[in-house]
Structure 1
Amino acid sequence: MARRRKGLPIDGVLLLDKPKGMSSNHALQRVRRLFQARKAGHTGTLDPMATGLLPVCFGEATKFSAHLLDADKVYRTRVKLGETTDTGDAEGVVVERQALPDTLDRSAVETILERFRGEIEQIPPMYSALKHQGRKLYELAREGKTIARAARCVTVYDMRPLGWERDGFWLQVRCSKGTYIRTLAEDIGAALGLGAHITALERLETGPFDSEKRLSLEALEAMSDDERLGQLMPIDVLLGHLPSLAVEAPVADRLLQGQRASVPDAALALAPGATARLYRGESFLGLVESTAPGEIAPRRLVDTSALVPG
């Protein structure tokens, strides 16, 4: 006999304000227990030291979480000059120190920052969740091992100072997926000849979401069950960047059975290979792909029998 799955079949998206000193997975499990949810996942790890926006997907929403993993991000960070650590942040051990000038040359910093705007190459840090032969790099780093890592191309769309201090400065960075802010700070410090690491990191935005509606664990714990459920956003908020396509019930039924369907009028604007959100009335059904002019096929659909509105 199959074991009954534990938890409630809750579906939706929550914007969590991850606290400092807690891993993203620990924060996720705390939220999952609060909602008594059967299934939940987050959309991009924040380091334990980092704080800020951590979208959590419940139930059927987890099928579409990759769209946020690939999204652009905005961070606020404090760069401390004069010290380099083995992790690139304040949780690491200082491995090198440099004497700082009496006054930080802001124009020199601005000049260096310009080098790191646009497409740049980064070598991922050893203290990261990337894997080498099935093991996470940070696990190897803790054993004192260093693995050669290939440089990766990332994009810094915008980077501007927010405040200046004698031993460093605050930055706001808008960047592409895969950008390591710790590495960015280290590279800026190296270019200045002073060394650097970050002492604070906060994620302000990810994809379509900003910090306006994020909720702390304390706020969620103080709510009733109904109040918590009222904080959930619908699944399709993850997919607002994609075009939408509404179909009648017979076409929707065909697609939900895994078959292609003809929709000559509605799909004319979709180029072959394009992906669109699928709706039957007001109900979101998932994603479809244009396979030919006037024809679409299911790509990633929700289990409509399991959907429970948030």
Structure 2
Amino acid sequence: MDGILPLWKPAGMTSHDCVMRIRRLLQTKKVGHTGTLDPDAEGVLPLCIGKATKLVPFMTNTSKTYLAEVILGQSTDTEDASGVVIEQKIPHQMPTNENIEHVLNMFTGDIVQIPPMYSAVRVNGKRLYEYARAQETVERPSRHVTIEHLEQTSPVDTGDHSFGIKVVCSKGTYIRTLCVDIGKALGYPAHMGRLIRMETGSIAKKATYTFEQIEQAVKTCQVHSLLLDMRVGIGNMDQLRVDEATRQKVLFGQKLPSPSQKMSTNPFAIIAGSELIAIYQYHPDKDGEIKPVRVFH
């Protein structure tokens, strides 16, 4: 059983919880997720099954699309609604849509973020959330991320001082932190309300299945029909098609001469017929040669 299972993660479960549940349902240990989604969030969580687990590091690099809620007036220690309020300044008059649009434009493009204390980023061998739970402070490393698209999706709600946003962003972006920084730019403490991941790479909500649907497919022995082809996981890579003789060399993990066509991505996928058989890259030390990164025997 090899392929990508497009799960719609429910709120209230960690990404690891989802992996463990699918392992039990499919009775296999070879299950991996392609990018952590906050426990309180719901949305697209592609799971790699069988040989497709070799695609995990490549799929985590794809862009993600989120719908989120920015709540002004209170900041929390977790930067979302589950945390303890640490600052409060209730807006007497909400920002206009024009003000919000101006601020959102400030955060479009390449930006720098400081990861939240309640996150899995490692500092000196420990997760930041371990420091936070022990009430210890530590310097957090900044990270560069890219906000490809950012727009307001719902008008200002004067009742709970909130508005909705849509974010298309690179790997490693913290939407919680983005909401907090947007609030600061508007002049208020803020935190993130609801969060939904609508797309991961080329996999969108309409392609996903719930746990209930997966469980039913297990009962009727139809799980294979839910799996996406492994080629879905390399949609952001160039593809090099090879003949049968080269296919055999690839499956043995051999280095090959560089192809006549220049690959615009590095690494890139090797396709034989309609099958993804390997991921190769240009050899870092030998011009005119390519070498395997992953081989799918």
Q: Establish whether residue 255 from structure 1 lines up as the match of residue 253 from structure 2.
A: no
> Is contact 2:253-2:295 (8 Å) kept?
no
Structure 1 runs of 4+ aligned residues shifted over 6 Å read none
Deviation, structure 1 residue 149: 1.2
Alpha-carbon distance change, 219 to 20 in structure 1, aligned in 2, over 3 angstroms: same
Q: How many residues align?
A: 291
Unaligned runs of 5+ in 2: none
Report the AA paired with residue 269 of structure 1.
Answer: Q
* Runs of 5+ consecutive residues of structure 1 not aligned to the other structure: 1-9, 305-310
Structure 2 vs 1, CA of residues 257 and 185 (structure 1 numbering), >3 Å: closer, same or farther?
Answer: same
Q: Is the 8 A contact 1:268 1:293 kept in 2?
A: no
- Structure 2 counterpart of 1:196, one-letter code: A
When normalised by structure 1's length, the TM-score is 0.88
Among candidates 51, 68, 87, match of residue 60 of structure 1:
51
Q: Which amino acid aligns with 2:171?
A: K
Q: Indicate conservation of the 8 Å contact 2:238/2:263, yes or no.
A: no
1:1-310 pair list within 5 angstroms: 10-164=1-155, 165-166=157-158, 167-223=161-217, 224-262=219-257, 267-270=259-262, 274-291=266-283, 295-302=289-296, 304=297
Partner in structure 2 of residue 4 of structure 1: none
Q: Give me the whole-angstrom Cα distance separating, in 1, the residues matched to 2:167 and 2:264.
A: 35
Shift of 1:117: 1.3
Q: Percent identity?
A: 38
Rounded to whole Å, the distance in 2 between the matches of 1:15 and 1:127 is 27
SS of 1:121's equivalent? Answer: strand
CA distances 1:219-268 after superposition (whole Å, capped 9, x unpaired): 212223522221001212111222222323332222322322357xxx20
Q: In the aligned structure 2, how far is the partner of 1:272 from the partner of 1:106?
A: 40
1:191 Cα deviation after fit:
1.6
Distance 1:293 1:251, change over 3 A: farther
For 1:263-286, what per-residue CA distance to the aligned partner results, in whole angstroms no more than 9, with x for missing partners? 7xxx20135994332233333211
Say what the alpha-carbon RMSD is for the aligned residues. 2.0
Q: Which amino acid aligns with 1:205?
A: E
Scaled by the length of structure 2, what TM-score is found? 0.91
Q: Distance in 1 between matches of 2:84 and 2:132?
A: 13
